[in-house]
Amino acid sequence: MDEARKKLRICLLCVVSAAIIMGVLYCILAAGDGSSVSEGTLVYHECSEGMDDAGSIY
């Protein structure tokens, strides 16, 4: 029983470590490509004259 718990703990530690390393690498590589704020799901919206903050024309 103790041997199985030890193997399970080591396996979970490896999986969590791999996920953390992959997340850090993704953040470093995504920040390094110079992508602007307008790409992806977070879109920066500039309001011009005649528009309120919600994008409605008044």
Domain ranges for the chain: 1-58
Q: Which has more pLDDT, 18 or 47?
A: 18
Residue 1: which pLDDT band, with cuts at 50, 70 and 90?
A: confident
pLDDT tens-digit readout, 21-56 = 999 998 888 776 655 555 556 655 565 565 555 656
Q: How far apart are CA 33 and CA 39, in angstroms?
A: 12
Largest CA distance in the chain: 70
pLDDT at residue 28, as a whole number? 84
pLDDT at residue 35, as a whole number? 55
- Give residue 4's Cα distance to chain centre: 34
pLDDT at residue 51, as a whole number? 57
**Cα angle 18, 20, 25; round to 5:** 95
Q: How far apart are CA 51 and CA 13, in angstroms?
A: 52
- Give residue 3's Cα distance to chain centre: 36
